Amino acid sequence: MADAISGLIVATALIMPSKKLKDVKVKSIKRKFKQKDFARRCSREESWCASMLEYQRKNSLRSL
């Protein structure tokens, strides 16, 4: 579960011009999460993955 989320975050950072995690916005992660062909190994079918993304957004990603 955490591997899928962290993989999505890192993949999002790598496509940004700066390639830095500090520049990743929650909005960008949520947008990429909806794209089926982006970071395909993130299991979007399982609802807990989406729930975890929401949990992370509310609790951990505020400092980004």
- By three-state DSSP, how is residue 64 classified? coil
Position 8 scores a pLDDT of 81
pLDDT in tens, 7-17: 788 889 999 99
60 pLDDT above the threshold of 90: no
Helix or strand run (H / E) with residue 29: helix 26-34
In angstroms, the CA 39 to CA 28 distance is 13
